Amino acid sequence: MKTRYSLHIQNSMTTRLHPVLRCAAIFALLPLFITSCKTTGGPTNGIPVGEFASLTGGTATFGQSVHNGDVLAVKEINDAGGVLGKPIDLMTEDDQSKTEDAVASVQKLVNSDHVIAVLGEVASSRSMAGAPICENAHVPMITPASTNEDVTKKGDYIFRICFIDPFQGQTMARFAVNSLGKKRAAILTDVKQDYSVGLDDAFKNMFTFLGGVVVSEQSYSTGDKDFRAALTSIKGSNPEVIFVPGYYTEVSLIVRQARELGIDVPILGGDGWDSPELTKGAEQQFNNTYFSNHFSTEDPDTTVQLFIKKYQDTYHTVPDAMAALGYDAARILADAIKRAGTTDSTKLRAAIANTKNFPGVTGTITIDGQRNASKPIVIIKIVNGAYHLAQRFGPNGEPMSSFQP
């Protein structure tokens, strides 16, 4: 069976191009993707599933990785006969890492492409922007990776397959106090991202609950490049640890600038750090940093190792957590369509809600009554640019392994 993928790049450069040139432009822009180009819109023979992702822009590696994971899963599903006797037709929209474009992307998928479900987004703010459109149209949306607590509160049709930030922030606070033995923390937050603000809150509450003191709270905005003023102020407060719950583009600069200013304490973060771009050219400066994440390539579990092998065979690179989450989200959707036996939105919604003990690469996934997933979490330690598993915690915050310094 032939697998088809649709890729629509919604930016002014490519939409003005002839389809053949557009295809060439897409290949030039996105060399790692297994994809073929198809003109947008029109009836499809397969089951149309939408995906909105940041294939370009400030958090491009999130979109590219999640797309790779989605495509790999769809290819496997279609190669095995598809669902309900049809292939899945993945229709992808690039929101360029912008909230406004996330809205336009989901509107197009829902209103023009008539997708039966939507996969995305990664960043919580963009998932929250797209969710009301899916909710109003009763099109189930599954975000693979948006961890902000409020995302799934947007409505009954909005699901996630990852853990949430209260859990992630609390775990990092436990790790800082109990594993690293630190009691004085500074926090540097991206006030433009719901993700960052939510994670900051969760960390702070648990850190102080455990007897720690937050000695400095500083902020920045997505797109900022110079963090020296905030970091100088943080340095003056003499913290033992710094929590930076941001995305890799800014964190990459923050850690470099902190080290240049002579700040050598451990710097901690969340899943938003996970990108091949994070440490590039600054591998040493990232020593003594830790971040929480959804999966570790050092996990000996056979499901994880098989996924890593398939991903590497296909894309010739090691998958990050985003890729693993994209792969899990697409497979969970396909599983729900099969169990529903139909793409009818009410029945499909109910089948997704009924997902139980799904054997994901990012852990065993059960969707709870709030349409969230309760899962284990890993803490990654960065050593000379390489990610090592430092500690693992269970869904209730209990350590599942001892800290490996």
Which residues contribute to the site for ligand PHE (CB under 6 A)? 62, 122-124, 145-148, 195, 271-272, 274, 321-322
Q: Which of 34, 21, 54, 7 is nearest to 249 (CA)?
A: 54
Tell me the two tokens of residue 306. 């098989």
Closest contact distance (angstroms) between CB of 285 and ligand PHE is 21
Residue ranges in 138-261 assigned as alpha helix (H): 165-174, 194-209, 228-236, 248-260
Our CB check for ligand PHE shows the closer of 195 and 220 to be 195
Q: Which amino acid is at 68?
A: N
Distance CA 52, CA 348 (A): 20
Q: Which of 234, 235, 168, 239 is nearest to 206 (CA)?
A: 168
Distance CA 231, CA 217 (A): 10
For residue 121, say if its preceding peptide bond is cis, omega within 30 degrees of 0: yes
Our CB check for ligand PHE shows the closer of 6 and 56 to be 56
Closest contact distance (angstroms) between CB of 168 and ligand PHE is 8
Closest contact distance (angstroms) between CB of 16 and ligand PHE is 31
**CA quadruple 303, 306, 307, 310: dihedral, nearest 10:** -160
Our CB check for ligand PHE shows the closer of 166 and 272 to be 272
Our CB check for ligand PHE shows the closer of 35 and 193 to be 193
Closest contact distance (angstroms) between CB of 248 and ligand PHE is 8
Distance CA 107, CA 114 (A): 10
Q: Which residues pair with 158 in a beta bridge?
A: 141
Number of H helices, E strands in the chain: 12, 15
Closest contact distance (angstroms) between CB of 37 and ligand PHE is 27
Closest contact distance (angstroms) between CB of 327 and ligand PHE is 13
Our CB check for ligand PHE shows the closer of 37 and 278 to be 278
CB 7 within 8 A of CB 37: yes
Instruction: Return the H-helix or E-strand segment holding 107.
Output: helix 99-107
Our CB check for ligand PHE shows the closer of 200 and 274 to be 274
Our CB check for ligand PHE shows the closer of 89 and 165 to be 165
Closest contact distance (angstroms) between CB of 330 and ligand PHE is 15
